[in-house]
Amino acid sequence: MAVLTNAPKGTQDILPAQSGRWQYMENTLLRTAELFGFREIRTPVFEHTELFQRSVGDATDVVQKEMYTFEDKGKRSITLRPEGTAGVVRAALQNGLLGGALPLRCCYLISAFRYEKPQAGRQRQFHQFGAEVFGPSSPDADAELISLCNEICSALGLEGLRLHLNSIGCKSCRARYYEALRAFLSARADKLCETCRDRLEKNPMRVLDCKSPICQEAIEGAPVMIDYLCEDCSAHFEGLKKRLELLGIAYTVDPGIVRGLDYYTRTVFEFVSESIGAQGTVLGGGRYDGLVEELGGAPTPALGFAIGLERLLMQLEACHADFPEENRCDLYIASSGEEAQQKALQLCTLLRQEGFITECDCMGRSVKAQMKYAGKLGARYSTVLGDNELQGGSCTVKNMEDGTEHTVRLDGFTESIYQLLLEGVYNGIIEADPSKD
Ligand code: HAM
């Protein structure tokens, strides 16, 4: 395959024809999160590898198999971020944000990188919108975060997602669970993949989300964490369910959700679609009460989620959600001759300063070819400038949809176009061309 004209496997171009949908999703996500008090944070695309080893976890698929890690020229081990949470926690610690007013609420739009087997909804470079909250330990915060996910769905007109909810407890209740899970898995060790046999001792819960089909079969009937919750974790989970019911947010308790990253404690959740194929988890998140401390900060409860934008778009298209109409050219000014071309350029500049999308010729094409191009652009209005128009001081502006034409004077052109495009009224400077009645 030609290297120069083919992007690397697992990456995707977002072309001009699609970028409007992406901007719409991104703006809606940021705006909805803003309503809950989130402000955007931007962190580097790459971090020290150790950050992900310590946070996402040494025994996870992400760290063991999927990271884009390289040595830079200074011989540091660097990794392209496989997710956003670790970088946000690092940035919050480095910049003393957790010593300020809590709760701290940050959100982000990022590219992330995982060396996975590409398929529909699974790429090596993908995009996430994420939100993180630092400070609160009460289930009120969990419910509020899930409520943000719900509001995002409403704001985008997203249908067909189901909230799956679980609790994977804390360090103390997990010890007892690990014992039971190890006993169950050890009896089937010969049916596990090699990586999972290693994981048995280190972190048996990672076996539960191994993607290998042989492991998936071997874990059938394994004990589930939710049956081993300590009193506090259990009360937290009950508290969350009660609040979700109060908010009218439907959920399914799904003991199978363990998430693929090590930092989670207590609440974990996913919004899952049935209509976009095998990679149906559009959104995933949960609490990570131990991560700030793990990375060197004071113990700070925290929680968050991330949405995969590629999967979000697939789901929006699958449920035939409405996307706003794309912005298009308001006025195309065709020209014939150098003087007219320069006038067109001048008028375009003035109109752009007023916020109108305007284009004129920069290819030296015939008026006919320019008008063909204006048609392809889907321009709302067009006009042609030539010697006659320059001498007469006015031109004919044509509505490209209904064909109506208006004579518009060149002095005061911007004001006239403003009225024509935004208000559809004329103050005398513009006159409907009587000869066209
Ligand atoms: P995650 O479940 O690994 O969680 O990823 C979140 C979402 O990113 C997934 O539900 C999916 O939509 C999308 N995603 C993940 N991998 C890929 C891929 N290879 N191709 C396309 N989309 C993908 C996290 O990343 C956590 N940081 C979420 C979080 C934030 N938890 C707490 N705070």
Q: Report the half-sphere exposure of 115 (CA within 13 A, side-chain side).
A: 9
Ligand 1 atom nearest residue 288's Cα: 32
Dist. CA 22–CA 31, nearest whole Å:
14
Cα 399 to Cα 23: distance, rounded to the nearest angstrom = 28
Nearest CA to ligand 1 atom 17: 122
Give the closest residue (by CA) to ligand 1 atom 16: 122
CA distance 221 to 329: 60
What's the pLDDT at 437? 45
For residue 213, pLDDT over 80 is answered with: yes
Place of tokens 């321009």: 379
In 10 A of CB 429, how many CB atoms? 17
Question: What pLDDT shows up at residue 310?
Answer: 97
- Predicted pLDDT at 5: 96
Looking at ligand 1, which residue's alpha carbon is closest to its atom 13?
Answer: 308
| Size (the chain), residues | 437
Averaged pLDDT for residues 217-236: 95
Mean pLDDT of the chain: 94
**pLDDT tens readout for residues 312-355:** 999 999 999 999 999 999 999 999 999 999 999 999 999 999 99
Look up the pTM and report it: 0.94
- Asked if 165 and 150 count as a contact pair (C-beta separation under 8 A), the reply is no
Q: What is the mean pLDDT of residues 191-218?
A: 88
For the chain, the maximum distance between any two Cα atoms, rounded to a whole number of angstroms, is 93
CA-to-CA distance for 258 and 242, rounded, in angstroms?
A: 22
HSE-up of residue 292 (Cα within 13 Å, Cβ side)? 25
Query: 126 C-alpha to center of ligand 1: Å?
Result: 9
Does residue 430 carry a pLDDT above 80?
Answer: no
**Index of the ligand 1 atom closest to the CA of residue 86:** 27
Nearest protein Cα to ligand 1, atom 25: 83
Could you give the angle at the alpha carbon of 405 between the alpha carbons of 404 and 409, nearest 5°?
Answer: 155
State pLDDT tens for residues 368-421.
999 999 999 999 999 999 999 999 999 999 999 999 999 999 999 999 998 888
Residue 299 CB neighbour total at 10 angstroms: 10
Q: Which residue has the higher pLDDT, 100 or 74?
A: 74
In this prediction, residue 120 carries a pLDDT of 94
Residue 103: asked if its preceding bond is cis (omega within 30°), the reply is yes
- Give yes or no for residue 136 CB within 6 A of ligand 1: no
**Letter string b/e over residues 52-73, b meaning 16 or more CB atoms within 10 A of that residue's CB:** bbbbbbebbbbbeebbbbeeee
pLDDT of residue 276: 83
The answer to which of 34-38, 236-240, 306-310, 408-412 has the lowest mean pLDDT is 408-412
Report the residue among 311, 313, 315 best suited for mutation to probe ligand 1: largest number of ligand atoms under 8 A from its CB.
311
For ligand 1, whether the C-beta of 122 sits within 6 Å is yes
Q: Is 304 in the pocket of ligand 1 (CB under 6 A)?
A: yes
Q: Is residue 280 in contact with ligand 1, taking CB distance under 6 Å?
A: no
More confident residue, 129 or 2: 129
Ligand 1 touching residue 83 (CB < 6 A)? yes
Looking from the CA of residue 309, the nearest atom of ligand 1 is 12
Q: For residues 170-188, b (16+ Cβ closer than 10 Å) or e, as one string?
A: beebbeebbebbeebbeeb
| 3-class SS string, the chain | CCCCCCCCCCCCCCCHHHHHHHHHHHHHHHHHHHHCCCEECCCCCEEEHHHHHHHHHCCCHHHHHHCEEEECCCCCEEEECCCCHHHHHHHHHHCCHHHCCCCEEEEEEEEEECCCCCECCECCEEEEEEEEEECCCCHHHHHHHHHHHHHHHHHHCCCCEEEEEEECCCHHHHHHHHHHHHHHHHCCHHHCCHHHHHHHHHCHHHHHHCCCHHHHHHCCCCCCHHHHCCHHHHHHHHHHHHHHHHHCCCCEECCCCCCCCCCCEEEEEEEEECCCCCCCEEEEEEECCCHHHHCCCCCCCEEEEEEEHHHHHHHHHHCCCCCCCCCCCCEEEEECCHHHHHHHHHHHHHHHHCCCCEEECCCCCCHHHHHHHHHHHCCCEEEEECHHHHHHCEEEEEECCCCCEEEEECCCHHHHHHHHHHHCCCCCCEEECHHHC
Looking at residue 429, what is its pLDDT? 46
Return the ligand 1 atom nearest residue 122 CA. Answer: 20
Distance CA 153, CA 157 (A): 6
* Sign of torsion over alpha carbons 186, 192, 198, 200: negative
* Residue having the nearest C-alpha atom to atom 11 of ligand 1: 308
Phi and psi (nearest 5°) for 401?
Answer: -85, -50
Distance 159 CA to ligand 1 centre (A): 19
pLDDT tens-place string over residues 146-176:
999 999 999 999 999 999 999 999 999 999 9
- Angle at alpha carbon of residue 397, lines to 396 and 403, rounded to 5°: 105
Q: Which atom of ligand 1 lies closest to the CA of 285?
A: 31
In the predicted structure, residue 428 carries a pLDDT above the cut 50 = no
Instruction: Give the model's pLDDT for residue 424.
Output: 60
Instruction: For residue 151, count other CB atoms closer than 10 A to its CB.
Output: 14
Residue 75 has pLDDT above 70, yes or no: yes
Query: Does ligand 1 lie within 6 Å of residue 116's CB atom?
Result: yes
Q: Among positive and negative, which fits the CA dihedral 129, 268, 47, 97?
A: positive
209: pLDDT confidence band, cut at 50, 70 and 90? Answer: confident
Separation CA 370–CA 332 (nearest Å): 9
